[in-house]
Structure 1
Amino acid sequence: MSESEQRYVSLQDAADILGVHYMTAYRYMRHGRLSAIKESGVWKVAEVELQRFQAEQNESKESSSQTVKKNQSRSQAPWHDRLEACLLTGDGAGAWSVLEAAIDSGTEFEEAYLDVLSPAMAAIGERWHRGELDIYVEHRATTIATRLVARLGAKTARRGRTRGIVVLGAPPGERHSLAIAILADVVRLGGFEVHDLGADLPAESFVSAVRHYDDVLAVGISATSAESCVLVSDLIVQLRDVMAVDTCVFLGGRAITSEAAAHELGADEWASDARSFVAALDLVASSRNKARRTQGSIS
């Protein structure tokens, strides 16, 4: 079959067919594992090439037990321990190299955020709380981690149609902006448009931001201390005055330990962690779209 007779799909469509993130498919292409052509600024993959790649992937899954063990060993490499070591010594370049190595070995971007970077920072935070580290070490690690999130975010940025607008932030007194930044990128990987307002945000500014964006799907508020809970409750009351009735308010963070606690403070949903938050957003988006289609057909 000549090149002109071949049927092509976009690299994004190829990623969807393979069940991977766009950047993973792009990495396959850059590493020569998946052939593609660039046409009018868009990467395209021939259907026959995609079928060849899928067959190769299936053969890999059915390979010998020895190969499986090697792959398992590679995927179970202690990436977060290696990253923690770099962060503790202030080695920013080494920290980025660890993340790149993890991704090149098959770690998905969501896993890089939640199973590599987050555990490394949590371990450092726990050591500081136990008095094992000087505060400057923790601050330096946080600064490096913030730069890592920025670099990862640039690699994972998605274009095209959004599944809904999500606004994230934390009330006055909160200082954990890194956790919100990580959450924001993970939510973006889910196809949502995210506006990260950071931590320590005055209530009136939070309300103003939500009022500014059209048709907000959800608002996520983080609280890590008991003192924040009183502020959160008041913030939600103010947000209700400017939000659409079908905008969902989520509460999460170390201070919110149960669904009941989230509801008591006025939230619609509890986000126990990043993955559960994205899963709940999926349901909220689907439910709202269905309700609006039903309402449209009635009217």
Structure 2
Amino acid sequence: MTATATEASPTDSYHGFLESLEEADEYAAIDTALGLIDAGVPAERVLLDLIAPAQVEVGERWARNEWSVAQEHAATHISERVVAAVAARAVPRPTRGRVVVACMDGEWHALPPRLVAEVLRLRGWQVTFLGASVPAAHLVSYLHRHDAHAVALACALPMRLPHAHRMIEACRRSDVPVVVGGRGFGHDGRWAHRLGVAWAPDAPAAADLVADERALRRVRPAELSQLADDEYASLAKRRGELIDGALADLRARAPGVREYTTAQLDSTVSDLGHIVDFLAAAVYVDDGSLFIDFVRWLIGILASRGVPASAVGLTLGYYVDELRDFPRAARFLGEASASAAAGTGPRAG
């Protein structure tokens, strides 16, 4: 190994790379990544030790309201361009079977699974990356037409878990092993285990799992006996009604809401929908921590934008009244309401 290769480090280039993202300087960002490869740093390290942590910081800056949505989108687009540049520089010939990588239906965070796809490709797999929000029927149709060794599915938001479960089962009916990843399954994979599917915490672990077919197929049965009581189905059916009612309640109890601009009103409706969706997902997997952690995160996000925790508390109180006949939902709402009343901020996932 040359001295240059020993000294070059993604860690040393991180701050300069992040500055390139902040300045929306695509060319500087690409030069940084390719410069590391030219210095002998493996492409996998550039992907995982430079681009991945920088993208995490991009998301955190948006969450802290330090960056606008436009800045976050620009930085993400540049990161995607850098990944493409790295992929074009490192072009290994596939020596293994096909792996299909995709985001769950309704899931638009495509960069993390793209990194997984590139790591798999660097390790010799023939990879097909289908991108963001792939409908289950379309994915299954693709699997029927192409002989896949495995399919890797990504989910960044736990509220998508019910959709994820249906997608996982659809893939299995095609007799294709499934591995999942992403924050949507919990930082420790707890909800992947609840759904009875193989889980990988990061790209290298996903690659190792895909390479071990016995481990990939050796999964426990799903632990979803609670779905027999139809509480989740009933809650999901009332989604629109609950959002409309909560908005009307906010207008009545928080007069300032009546003066909201169209953009503010759209954002509020979106937040109300997320509350219902995360609550439904918590009921689906029977884990109140999913909903409580979301409420803590939402309070932190809104606080950074000048919205007090009491606003979330009002909505939770409304849902408590409306869902008294939903045992698990009512319990999770009560626990989350206590967090909102205490003004608890976001907790690390």
Query: TM-score range with shorter-chain normalisation?
Result: 0.5 to 0.7
1:164 and 1:285 in contact (8 A); partners too: no
Q: Larger helix proportion, structure 1 or 2?
A: 2
Kept in 1, the 8 Å contact 2:34–2:85? The answer is: no
Answer yes or no: is the 8 Å Cα contact 2:10–2:50 preserved in 1. no
What is the identity, as a one-letter code, of the residue corresponding to 2:200? A
**Structure 2 equivalent of residue 5 of structure 1:** none
What number of residue pairs does the alignment pair up? 216
State the partner residue of 1:154: 88
Q: Structure 2 vs 1, CA of residues 75 and 170 (structure 1 numbering), >3 Å: closer, same or farther? A: closer
User: Counting strand residues as a fraction of each chain, which structure ranks higher?
Assistant: 1
**Residues in 1 aligned to 2:149 and 2:190: alpha-carbon distance in whole angstroms:** 22
Identity of aligned pairs, percent? 31
Question: Which amino acid letter does the alignment assign opposite residue 85 of structure 1?
Answer: E
Q: 1:284 aligns with which of 208, 213, 217?
A: 213
Q: 2:114 is matched with which residue: 176, 181, 195?
A: 181
Distance change in 2, residues 1:93/1:285 (3 Å)? farther
Instruction: Give 1:199's aligned residue.
Output: 132
Q: Distance in 2 between matches of 1:262 and 1:167?
A: 19
Post-superposition CA distance 1:13-60 (Å, at most 9, x none) = xxxxxxxxxxxxxxxxxxxxxxxxxxxxxxxxxxxxxxxxxxxx4xx6
Match of 1:171 among 104, 108, 121: 104
Normalization by structure 1: what TM-score?
A: 0.67
Match of 2:184 in 1: 255
Unaligned runs of 5+ in 1: 1-56, 61-66, 289-299
Judged with a 3 Å threshold, the aligned counterparts in structure 2 of structure 1 residues 239 and 286 are, in CA distance, closer, same or farther, namely closer
**In structure 2, do the counterparts of structure 1 residues 242 and 78 end up closer, same or farther at CA, with 3 Å as the change threshold?**
same
Contact 1:226 1:255 in 2 (8 A): yes
Question: Which residue of the partner structure matches residue 292 of structure 1?
Answer: none
SS at match of 2:71: helix
Q: Could you say if the C-alpha distance between residues 133 and 209 of structure 1 is closer, same or farther in structure 2, counting changes exceeding 3 Å?
A: same
- Whether contact under 8 Å (1:237, 1:266) holds in the other structure is no
C-alpha spacing 1:102/1:180, structure 2 compared with 1 (3 Å): same
Distance change >3 Å, CA 135–CA 284, structure 1 → 2? same
Alpha carbons of structure 1 residues 260 and 98: separation in structure 2 relative to 1, 3 Å: same
Q: Which runs of 5+ in 2 are unaligned?
A: 218-349
Whole-angstrom distance in 2 between the partners of 1:259 and 1:97: 35
Cα RMSD (Å): 2.2
Alpha-carbon distance change, 175 to 286 in structure 1, aligned in 2, over 3 angstroms: closer
Distance 1:242 1:97, change over 3 A: same
Q: Which of 93, 118, 122 in structure 1 is aligned with 2:56?
A: 122
- Residue of structure 1 equivalent to 2:335: none
What is the CA deviation profile of residues 34-90 of structure 1, one whole-angstrom value per residue up to 9, with x for unaligned ones? xxxxxxxxxxxxxxxxxxxxxxx4xx6xxxxxx7xx976543752122111001101
1:100 and 2:34 correspond: yes
